[in-house]
Amino acid sequence: MGLSQPIALWWLIAKVLFISGLLRGWRWVFYLFLIVAGHHAVLFWGKNTAAAALNLVLILATLASWRHFYRKPEDSSITPAREPG
């Protein structure tokens, strides 16, 4: 896979980076993904509208996950118990 199709290896590395970046909370990976996906949406718009639309759906789904991965501590639905006194 890697030697005969180097672009496939780069995409695999990018996907691993994006998933691990989300799990680790690396905001720069989040922004990098949005930039690359936006670039692909614009790039494919004239050539393959379905691919461009799919990239737009991925961008929207990623933006919707912002609160889950990057919430502020006070936004948590679980509030710590207060000590009496």
85 lies in some domain:
no
Half-sphere exposure of 37 (CA within 13 A, CB side): 20
Of 13, 44, 68, the closest CA to residue 5 belongs to 13
Each residue's pLDDT tens digit, 24-68: 888 888 888 889 888 888 888 888 888 888 889 988 988 888 877
Give the pLDDT band (50/70/90) at residue 3.
Answer: low
Task: Give me the pLDDT at residue 15, please.
Answer: 84
Would the pLDDT of 83 be above 80? no
What pLDDT shows up at residue 85?
A: 56
Domain range spanning residue 50? 6-70
Digit-coded pLDDT (tens) for 7-19: 778 878 888 888 8
Q: Is residue 36 part of a domain?
A: yes
73 burial level (CB within 10 Å; 0-12, 13-18, 19+): exposed
- Whether 78 shows a pLDDT value over 80: the answer reads no
H helix intervals, 1-85 = 6-24, 27-44, 49-64, 66-69
Q: How many domains does the chain have?
A: 1
Separation CA 67–CA 30 (nearest Å): 12
Query: Would residue 42 count as lying in a domain?
Result: yes
Predicted structure pTM score: 0.62
Instruction: Give the list of residues 6+ apart from residue 42 with CB closer than 8 angstroms, or none.
Output: 52
